[in-house]
């Protein structure tokens, strides 16, 4: 089974940028769409966006469209989340997840999860 490991979180000022990485190891990463979720303190986990093995992408929430971009390097089994124009409300633990397709990924049923990485945006 594929395993996921995120990195790249940290503290950034509002308006700044961060790039998160998620490395997939083991299993067959090409079988999965990879997506990004986040969970802020006291809130439910939120699906953000996802990318297929072929590079097609989809947004699950409009709040990040135009600011967050997902990309994938299949040679490195890595998916990236470029976050621009960050806002304090983007503060959360960000998770990478693998699912069989965009719909399954969004439903979170059977997803494979990484351990998460903290992103804190100061005002």
**One digit per residue, pLDDT tens: the chain, 123 residues?**
899 999 999 999 999 999 999 999 988 888 899 999 999 999 999 999 999 989 999 999 999 999 999 999 999 999 999 999 999 999 999 999 999 989 989 988 889 999 999 999 999
User: What's the rounded Cα separation, in Å, for the pair 118 and 104?
Assistant: 25
Q: In terms of Cα–Cα distance, which of 80, 31, 20 is closest to 54?
A: 31
User: What's the rounded Cα separation, in Å, for the pair 60 and 65?
Assistant: 9
- Joined together, the tokens standing for residue 20 give 């998160």
């Amino acid at each position: 089974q594929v395993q996921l490991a995120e990195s790249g979180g940290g503290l950034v000022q509002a308006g700044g940028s961060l790039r998160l990485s998620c490395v997939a190891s083991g299993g067959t990463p090409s079988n999965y769409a990879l997506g990004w979720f986040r969970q802020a303190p006291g809130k439910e986990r939120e699906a953000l966006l996802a990318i297929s093995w072929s590079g097609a992408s989809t947004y699950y929430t409009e709040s990040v469209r135009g600011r967050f971009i997902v990309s994938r390097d299949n040679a490195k089994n890595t998916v990236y989340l470029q976050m621009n124009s960050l806002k304090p409300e983007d503060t959360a633990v960000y998770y990478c997840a693998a699912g069989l397709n965009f719909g399954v990924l969004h439903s979170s049923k059977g997803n494979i999860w990484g351990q998460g990485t903290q992103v804190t945006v100061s005002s």
